[in-house]
Amino acid sequence: MTPELKHFFDSMGAYFEGVPEGVGLERLYAAHPGWQTPRTRTALYGGFVRGHVRGALEKLFPLSRHAVGEAAWDALVEEYTRTRPARHYEINRLGEAFPAHVADRVEALGLAPHVPALARFEWADFAVFASEEVAPEVVERLTANPTLTVLEHAFRICAHVRAGDARKVPDAGEELALLWRHPGQLATFYMEATPSALLVLKMAVEGLTAEHVAAATGMSEAQVRADVVRFARDGLVLLPPESK
């Protein structure tokens, strides 16, 4: 690469780094004396590049956005664009570090305490939906859904998301949220972990039979089997063909 071309890329890199638009544009033009192109045309690119980050974040985190309000959202997006630029060619991946960024900024921006957990949930929702894991078409024994993700937080986020009103604040309370992709519908399913869901997952992970669980817990074997079938229907666990 010639020094001139390197200088060009360096100057564009500095422009896109996120210094305030007016300042960045003047610096860019100062680096190229005699450049005739109208500044308004060049500035379109600064707007596009920032717009892609904002657009991706707003698609991935609609509930968090509404929960923090427009001013705090703008601040979050601008700081994030500047401090954690996209490092992956798949544009949605730029949202991966956003929940951590939100968590870092709770105090400074006066965010409601549940927002980091909500952002983490929204990212997990997408990550599960788009997971590269492939649920096997046939399993030999009861198997946990390979896309299963477990989140632990101090708010009732599942009920909050289900209610769909981001302006409300979720109830406080420890929650283990389970998120997975339904193997047939390929949509994200989620629920707050219940004793029966955790028991069925334990059976899958440890290879326990309904008979064994019934003996150990005092539940009826029919009840254990019914739970397994119910959670298999929702795709939380995968059943071998003979058990369907």
CA distance 226 to 220: 10
Q: Provide the minimum distance between the beta carbon of 144 and another protein in the complex, in angstroms, as a whole number.
A: 17
Nearer to another protein, 129 or 239 (CB): 129
Nearest partner of 118 among 130, 110, 106, judged by Cα: 106
CA distance 101 to 73: 12
Q: Provide the minimum distance between the beta carbon of 239 and another protein in the complex, in angstroms, as a whole number.
A: 20
CA distance 131 to 230: 23
Nearer to another protein, 36 or 195 (CB): 36
Q: Provide the minimum distance between the beta carbon of 86 and another protein in the complex, in angstroms, as a whole number.
A: 4
Question: Bridge-partner residues for 172, per DSSP?
Answer: 155
Q: Please give the single-letter amino acid code of residue 154.
A: A
Angle between helices 39-60 and 21-30 (to 10 degrees): 140
Phi/psi at 155 (5° precision):
-135, 160
Q: Provide the minimum distance between the beta carbon of 146 and another protein in the complex, in angstroms, as a whole number.
A: 10
Nearer to another protein, 8 or 191 (CB): 8
Nearer to another protein, 6 or 202 (CB): 6
* 3-class secondary-structure state, position 90: coil
Whether 197 and 230 have beta carbons less than 8 Å apart is answered as no
Q: Provide the minimum distance between the beta carbon of 76 and another protein in the complex, in angstroms, as a whole number.
A: 19
Nearer to another protein, 2 or 107 (CB): 2
- Contact residues for 187 (Cβ-Cβ < 8 A; gap 6+): 129, 181
Nearer to another protein, 32 or 233 (CB): 32
Q: Which residues form the interface with another protein (CB under 8 A)? A: 1-2, 4-6, 8-9, 12-13, 16, 32, 34-38, 40-42, 44-45, 48-49, 52-53, 56, 85-94, 129-134, 181, 186
* 3-class secondary-structure state, position 238: strand
Q: Provide the minimum distance between the beta carbon of 43 and another protein in the complex, in angstroms, as a whole number.
A: 9
Question: Bridge-partner residues for 178, per DSSP?
Answer: 150, 191
